[in-house]
């Protein structure tokens, strides 16, 4: 297929844009695509997009944490590795597992907004999986127990308490 702009070279770039619900497609050669500024290509010619995960995450963080940026004296820092909020915003990466605890109040709303939830819902290792699932079930039952107590449903609360004891004995 020939380039739709110069009509000389083979088209190696296919661009599809949707603007106001209207789809526009164009096939260009590498040279025309560079000239039009449609994409930037490093030496290895891999497609480079301005919409990287870090850029999107940084934009969401800017939106959520506007008050933090006004007072730059209050930039939180991880006590374990020294990663601060600004570094996380630029790179989209944390330095260690303690960053979640040290930067938690800022990170959790961002993670929840990006991923939809802050609890892991993926695969569980087979060896440790049974233990993890049982502990999670106990935690859910404890929450259910607290709700039953708050609603003064004591018979239901007693049943839930017994289930929790059974699960703890199994572990």
Task: Delimit the domains of the chain by residue range.
Answer: 1-41, 53-115, 126-170
Whether 158 shows a pLDDT value over 50: the answer reads: yes
What is the pTM for the complete model shown?
0.38
Q: What is the pLDDT of residues 53-63, one digit of tens each?
A: 555 666 655 55
| Three state DSSP letters for 113-152 | HHHCCCCCCCCCCHHHHHHHHHHHHHHHHHHHHHHHHHCC
Taking CA atoms, 33 is separated from 1, 75, 76, 115, in Å, by 15, 41, 42, 34
* Structure tokens, 43: 């030496």
d(CA 142, CA 136): 10
């Amino acid at each position: 297929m020939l380039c739709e702009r110069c009509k000389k070279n083979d088209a190696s770039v296919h661009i599809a844009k949707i603007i106001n619900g209207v789809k526009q497609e164009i096939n260009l050669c590498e040279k025309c695509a560079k000239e039009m500024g449609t994409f930037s290509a490093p030496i290895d010619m891999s497609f480079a997009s301005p919409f990287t995960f870090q850029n999107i995450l940084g934009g969401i963080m800017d939106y959520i944490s506007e008050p933090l940026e006004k007072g730059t004296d209050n930039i939180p820092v991880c006590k374990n590795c020294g990663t601060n909020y600004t570094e996380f915003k630029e790179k989209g990466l944390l330095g260690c597992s303690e960053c979640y605890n040290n930067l938690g109040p800022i990170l959790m709303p961002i993670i929840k907004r990006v991923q939809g939830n802050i609890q892991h819902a993926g695969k569980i290792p087979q060896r440790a999986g049974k233990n993890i699932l049982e502990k999670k079930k106990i935690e859910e039952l404890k929450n259910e127990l607290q709700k039953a107590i708050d609603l003064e449903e004591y018979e239901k609360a007693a049943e839930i308490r017994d289930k929790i004891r059974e699960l703890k004995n199994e572990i």
